[in-house]
Structure 1
Amino acid sequence: MRVGLLISEFKDKNVCDMCLGADIAARDLGVELVIFPGKYIITDKNFSDDNPYEYQYQAVFDYIYEAGFDGLIVDIERIGNSAPILKKEGFLKQFGKKPLLTVTELEGFEKVEYKKDTPYFEIGFLAIEQILSKVSDNKVKAKRKSIKEFTAEDVISVNSRTSALAKLSSQCNYEEDNYDLIFKKIAQAGFKNFEVFLLESPQICSMKKGWKVPKYSKRIITIHDGKADKFDKKTDMETSDIFDLSKIKGTKIIRNVFRGEEQYGLFIIGFEDSVRTGTFDDLITSIVLSGIRMNFLRKRLIDAEEELTQCQEEIARDGSVLDHIGDKDYLTNLPNRRGFFTKAYDLLKKDFKEGKYAVVAYIDMDSLKNINAIHGHDEGDHAVKRVADILEEVFGKKSVCGRIRGDEFAVIEVTDEEDKAEELRIEMARQNNKLLMENTKYLNHLIYSICEFDYEESLSLREMLKETDDNLKNMRRMETLG
C-alpha cells in the first residue's frame, strides 16, 4: 500500500516530528510512505518580490495525480498557512476521490483523530493507522517506538555529508562518462538510497497556469543500499511510474528541482533523521539542481553545435552568406529562423488580443536526412520546396511560415475561430498522405504538432513554441515506438 504525506517543509520541528512518527508506523505496517515537501500555497499575503518563484515548490504535488496512491495525509494548516479557506478547499479537492485525511480540522474534510496536546510524532503514528483503516475498512495498530534525541554529533555528521556532496557537485559535470564517478562519490558521502530523474526537457511552470507534468522522464542516478545500480541511461520511463519503478524501499522523500519558471526534474531520497537539521533538504535540492542544470546546458550546447554545423554545410553548398545572415531562406523563399521570429513577434503584437486565438505549428521533415543520403542534396532540396508549398497551401497567406532549421518549419497564425487548430490538423493529415503517395522513389514523411492558445496577456511566444515543440517530441517518440 502506498500513502502520500503532504507537508510544508522540514524547517518546522513539529513537521519533522510528525514525519518521524509516520515513518515508524509505516515501516511497522508495511506501508510505502512518500513524503511531499511542497512548502506553502502562495497568496497576496505571503508573495514576495524577493522570491517570486516560491510557488514552484508546490509543483511536487502534481506527481501524485497519475501515480498509484491508496491514500493521502495532508498537513493543510501549514501548507495553507496564509491562504483563505476557499484556497485550502480547492487545494484538497484537486486530488479528486482519493481517500484523504487532514492533520488539522477543515470543514467538509475528514481529519486525523487525536486528543488535544498530542505530541506531533504521535499524530504521525495515528495518521498512518487511520488512513490505512479508512482505505482497508480494517482497524490497524502500529507498534509504538520513541523517537531518539538528535544530538550535536548527529548534526556534525549530516553537515559533513552535505559538504561532501557539495564538493562533488563542483567536481563532476554530470556527463555520461562521469556517471560511475558520481555514483561512487555520492555513496561515499553516506547517501545509501538516492535517485535523480530528468524531465524530457525543462518545463515552464507559471503561477497563473501551472504546468503539465511531462509523460516521460529519464533516471540518471540510482544509489540503492549504498551501491550504484546499473540501468540503461538512454531509456525513458513514464513519469507516472517513478514510484512503481523506484529502487528505494520504505519511506522516501520526493523533491522537485526548478530554476526560475522552469521545472528540470526531481529526486527521491530515502527518509532519515537528517531532516531534523532543517536546512538539509533545501541544501540537497540546490546541489542536485546544479548538476541537472549542467546536464541540460551541455545538451543545449551539443544541439547548438549541431545546428551550427548544419548551417555551415548549407552555406558551403549554397555559397551565399548573405542568405543566411538575412531574414529569408534561400531555398524556399520563406522567412528563415531570424525572419520567422521577427514576423511572429510583429504578428502577435499587432493582432493577438482579447477574444483571439493563436495557432502555432511545428513541422519536421522526418525523412530529409535519408533523402539527402540516398538520393543526393538536389533531391532533398526538391523535397524541402514541396513541403514549403504544402504549408503555404494549408495555412494560407495570413499566417507566418518559416523554415527555422534544415528539416524543420514553424507556423503561427492569429485567428477569430476557436478550434481552428483541429481544422488545420485534418488538412495537414490529408496533405501528408498525399505527399507520401506522390513520389515513388522515396517517402517524404512529415511529423507535425499544431497547438491552439487562448489570448492571455502574460502568454509569450516562447511559451507557445515550447509547448508545441514538446508536443512534437512526444509525436516523434510515438512514431519511434510505433
Structure 2
Amino acid sequence: MRVGLLISEFKDKNVCDMCLGADIAARDLGVELIIFPGKYIITDKNFSDDNPFEYQYQAVYDYIYEAGFDGLIVDINRIGNSAPILKKEAFLNQFGKKPLLTVSEIEGFDTVKYVKNTESLEIGYLAIEQIIAKISGNVVKAKRKKISELTAEDVISANNKISAMSDLASRCSYDKDNYDLIIKKIAVAGFSDLEVFLLESPRICSLKKGWKVPKHSKRIITIHTGKSEKFDKRKDMETSDIFDFSTIEGTKIIRNVFRGEEQYGLFIMGFDNSVRTGTFDDLLTSIILSGIRINFLKKCLVDTEEELLQCQEEIARDGSVLDHIGDQDYLTSLPNRRGFFAKAYDLLKTDFKEGTYAVVAYIDMDSLKNINAIHGHDEGDNAVKRVASILEEVFGKESICGRIRGDEFAVIGVTDEEDRAEELRIEMARQNNKLLMENTKYLNHLIYSICEFDYEDSLSLREMLKETDDNLKNMRRMETIG
C-alpha cells in the first residue's frame, strides 16, 4: 500500500513530529509512505517579489497523479495557511476520488479524528491508521514508540552531510555520464539512502504557463543502505515509475530541483533525523541543484565543443567558407543557421502580434549519416536537396525554412489560423511516407516536430525553439524505443 503525506515544510517542529509518528506507524503496518514537502499555496498575501519562484515547491505534488497512490494525507491547514477556503478546496479536489484525509477539518472532506490538544507525533500515528481503514476497511493499530529529543550529535551529523555535499557539488564535473566517483563520495559523506534524477534538459515551470511533470528522467545517483550502487547503463526511465523502481526502503521524501523558472532534476531521500534540524531539507536541495547545474553546464560545454568540431569538418569538406560566413546554405539555397535566425527574428518582430500564432518546426534527416557513409556525399547532397524541396512545398513561401545544421532544418511561420500546426503535421506525414517510398537504394527518413504558439508579449524565439527541440528529442527517443 502506497500513501502520500502532503506537508508544508520541515522547519515547523509540529510538522516534523507528525512525520515521525507517520513514519513509525507506516513501517510497523507495512505501508510505503512518501512525504511531499510543497510549502504553501501561493496567494496575493504571501507572494513576494524577493522570492518570486516559491510557487515551484507546489509542483512536487503533481508526481502523485500517475504514481499509483492508494491514499493521501494532507496537512491542508499549514499548506493553505494564507489561502481562502475556495483555494484549499480546489487544492484538495485536484486529486479526484482518491481516498484522502485532511489533518485539520475542512467542510466536505474526511478528517483525521483526534481529540483537542493531541500531540503532533500521535496525530501522525492516527493519520496512518485511519487512511489504512479508509482504503481497506480494516481497523489497525500501530505500535507506539518513545521518541527522543533531537541531540547535538544529530545536528552535527546533519551538518557533516551538508558540508560534504557542498564540497562535492563544487568539485562536480561532467565526464560522459560517469558518476561513480560522485556516488562513492556522497555515500562516504553519511547518506544512507539517496537517489538523484537528472532531466535531459531543463523544464520551464512558470505561474503563467504552469508546467507538466517530465515524462522521462535519468537516475544518476543511487545510495542504498549507505552503499553506492553502480549502473553500467543509465537509461531514461518513466518518471511515473520512480517510486516503483526506487531502491530506498521505508519512508521517502521527494523534492524537485529548480533554479529560476527551470527544473533541472529531482531527488528522493530516505526519511531520517536530519530533517528534524529544520534547514537540512532546503540546504540539501540547493546543494544538489548546484551539483546538477554545474554538471549540466559542463555537459553543454562538451556538446558545444563537439558541435564546433562538426562545423569545422563541414567547412573543410564543403571547401566554401563564404557559405558559412554568409546567410545562405550553399547546397539548398535556403537560409543557413545565421540567415534563419536573422530572418526569424525579423518575422516575429513584424508579424507576430495579438490574434496570431507562431508555427515552429524542427526536421531531422535521421538517415543522412548512413547515406553519406554507404552511398557517398554526392548522394547525401541529393537527399538533402530533396528534403529542402519538400519543406518548401509543405510550409510554403510565407514561412522561413533554413538548414541550421548538416542534417537538421528549422521552419518558422506566423499565421492567424488556429491549429495550423495540425494541418502541417498531417501533410508532413504524407510527404514523409512518400519520401520513404520513392528511393529504392536507401531510406531517406525524417523525424520532425511541429509546435504552435499563441501570441504572448513575453514569449521569445528561444523558448519556442527549445520546446520544439524538446519535442523532437522525444520523437527520437520514441523512434529508438520503437
Give the TM-score range, shorter chain. over 0.9
Q: Which residue of 2 aligns with 1:369?
A: 369
Give the distance between the partners of 1:315 and 1:180, measured in 2 at CA. Answer: 38
1:174/1:15 CA distance change after superposition, 3 Å? farther
Letter of the 2:223 partner, please give it: I
1:61-100 counterparts in 2 under 5 A? Answer: 61-100=61-100
1:307-346 counterparts in 2 under 5 A? Answer: 307-346=307-346
CA RMSD after TM alignment: 1.6
Deviations 1:421-471 (A, max 9, x none): 111111101111111122222111100111222233333322222222111
Instruction: Please state how far the C-alpha of 1:90 moved relative to its aligned partner.
Output: 2.0
Q: Which moved more, 1:289-298 or 1:389-398?
A: 289-298
Letter of the 1:22 partner, please give it: A
Tell whether 2:125 aligns with 1:128. no
Tell whether 2:456 aligns with 1:450. no
Asked if structure 1 preserves the Cα contact closer than 8 Å seen for 2:73 and 2:102, the reply is: yes
Deviations 1:294-322 (A, max 9, x none): 22112211221222112112211223323
Structure 1 gaps, min length 5: none
Instruction: Please state how far the C-alpha of 1:176 moved relative to its aligned partner.
Output: 4.8
Give the distance between the partners of 2:443 and 2:153, measured in 1 at CA. Answer: 68
Q: Which residue of 1 aligns with 2:163?
A: 163
Q: Which residue of 1 aligns with 2:32?
A: 32
Letter of the 2:335 partner, please give it: P
Q: Which residue of 1 aligns with 2:57?
A: 57
1:19-418 counterparts in 2 under 5 A? Answer: 19-176=19-176, 179-418=179-418
SS at match of 2:217: strand
Letter of the 1:387 partner, please give it: V
Provide the aligned length of Structure 1 versus Structure 2: 482
Instruction: Please state how far the C-alpha of 1:82 moved relative to its aligned partner.
Output: 1.9
Instruction: Please state how far the C-alpha of 1:277 moved relative to its aligned partner.
Output: 0.8
Asked if structure 1 preserves the Cα contact closer than 8 Å seen for 2:172 and 2:295, the reply is: no
Give the distance between the partners of 1:26 and 1:261, measured in 2 at CA. Answer: 35
Give the distance between the partners of 2:105 and 2:52, measured in 1 at CA. Answer: 30
Give the distance between the partners of 2:443 and 2:176, measured in 1 at CA. Answer: 35
Asked if structure 2 preserves the Cα contact closer than 8 Å seen for 1:359 and 1:421, the reply is: yes
Give the distance between the partners of 2:324 and 2:174, measured in 1 at CA. Answer: 35
What is the percentage of aligned positions where both structures have the same residue?
84
Asked if structure 1 preserves the Cα contact closer than 8 Å seen for 2:99 and 2:134, the reply is: yes
Letter of the 1:305 partner, please give it: E
Letter of the 1:68 partner, please give it: G
Asked if structure 2 preserves the Cα contact closer than 8 Å seen for 1:220 and 1:233, the reply is: no
Give the distance between the partners of 1:175 and 1:102, measured in 2 at CA. Answer: 46
Instruction: Please state how far the C-alpha of 1:181 moved relative to its aligned partner.
Output: 2.0
Asked if structure 2 preserves the Cα contact closer than 8 Å seen for 1:204 and 1:463, the reply is: no
Letter of the 1:89 partner, please give it: E
**TM score, norm. by length of structure 2:** 0.96
SS at match of 1:354: coil
Give the distance between the partners of 2:463 and 2:216, measured in 1 at CA. Answer: 19
Tell whether 2:397 aligns with 1:432. no
Letter of the 1:438 partner, please give it: E
Instruction: Please state how far the C-alpha of 1:177 moved relative to its aligned partner.
Output: 7.1
Deviations 1:227-281 (A, max 9, x none): 1223244311111100000000110111111111111111111000111111111
Asked if structure 2 preserves the Cα contact closer than 8 Å seen for 1:200 and 1:214, the reply is: no
Q: Which residue of 1 aligns with 2:419?
A: 419
SS at match of 2:213: coil
Give the distance between the partners of 1:459 and 1:43, measured in 2 at CA. Answer: 24
SS at match of 1:371: helix
